[in-house]
Amino acid sequence: MSTVNTVLEAGTYFVAVNGYEGIGNFAFAYYESSIDADYEINDYFNAANEVALSTNLVGVIDNPNDFDYYKFTISQPTIMRYSITNTNDYVLAYAGSTGSAPIIIDGNMIKVQPGIYYFAVYSPTGTYDSDTSYTVNFKKIGEYADESIVPLRAIHESSGIVFQTNVLGTKYYVNGNAIDISYSYQFSANNSGGSQNYNISLQSMDGMRCQIWNEEVQGPDVVYYHSSTRPYINVGSKNLLRLMFYTDFRCF
């Protein structure tokens, strides 16, 4: 029989009893903080905490053999990034899934198929500190389309955009959604100040290309001005339509 004597501050305290078959010396453990009590129910794969994507989660490693498991559910093919912030040497690692294993894109940026995915936080060197917490995050960047249709991909992480095209640049998707640039707008009005008539249209044409620059396929080489019912400015006898394109994509 053993006893524990200590002076307790006002508050709520949590104790746990765990047993296994065998002989030897046994120890009595207690949770030192509410952070411990809130998160130490996830020390086993089957007890992983369900987490929301793009949300910070706080936990602690309170013994050398502590593993904290987390899981999240993916319903559409998704590109995401997982991260851990801590002052110790804790690691956030893939621990299994009910679907296909994640495919690494760049470091801890991965693409995943629909399924449930499990990750674990642990200390590879046995370092632990119940007074120091860690923060993990599973960030959804964007969904993606079938890569057999649009195999070229560019990612703008801070904007949450995944852009895809085929080799010819004739098909393009943003976050798994096919882009149709066709657009039309008509407007007419008359008043004492005069009249206004707008007839603006954009149509996808066979010669239109929208590609990701890479070593093998480069384009478009030429932008041809056809006409405009509302020019940006007149240059000589020609209407000028100003076209602007800016990108800060990371291509993989």
Cβ(185)–Cβ(200) below 8 Å:
yes
Could you tell me what percent of the chain has a pLDDT over 90?
33
- CA 131 to the chain's CA centroid: 30
Residue ranges of E strands in 4-151: 15-16, 29-30, 49-50, 57-59, 68-74, 78-85, 91-97, 103-106, 109-112, 115-122, 134-143
Cβ(142)–Cβ(161) below 8 Å:
yes
Q: Residue 201, SS3? A: strand
Question: Which of 169 and 221 is assigned the larger pLDDT?
Answer: 169
Q: What does the mean pLDDT of the chain come to?
A: 78
Q: Please give the structure tokens belonging to residue 2.
A: 């053993």
Per-residue H/E/C for 150-200: CCEEEEEHHHCEEEEECCCCCCEEECCEECCCCEEEEEEEEECCEEEEEEE
Which is nearest to 186 in space by CA: 176, 202, 198, 175?
A: 198
* Rounded Cα gap, residues 118 and 82, in angstroms: 12
In this predicted structure, what is the pLDDT of residue 104? Answer: 94
Does this model's pTM top 0.75? My answer is no
Beta carbons within 8 Å of 200's beta carbon, 6+ residues apart: 183, 184, 185, 186, 229, 230
Task: Give the pairing type, strands 233-235 and 152-156.
Answer: unpaired
* Rounded Cα gap, residues 124 and 163, in angstroms: 37
DSSP label of 53: T
pLDDT category at 26 given cuts 50, 70, 90 is low
Would you say residue 8 has pLDDT above 50? yes
Cβ(220)–Cβ(245) below 8 Å:
no
In this predicted structure, what is the pLDDT of residue 129? Answer: 86
Question: Which of 225 and 45 is assigned the larger pLDDT?
Answer: 45
Q: Please give the structure tokens belonging to residue 66.
A: 């502590």
If phi over 0 gives left and psi between -120 and 50 gives alpha, with beta otherwise, what is residue 89?
alpha
DSSP 132-148: S-EEEEEEEEEE---TT
Kindly report, residue by residue over 91-150, the tens digit of the pLDDT.
999 999 998 899 999 889 999 999 999 999 999 988 888 888 999 999 999 999 999 999
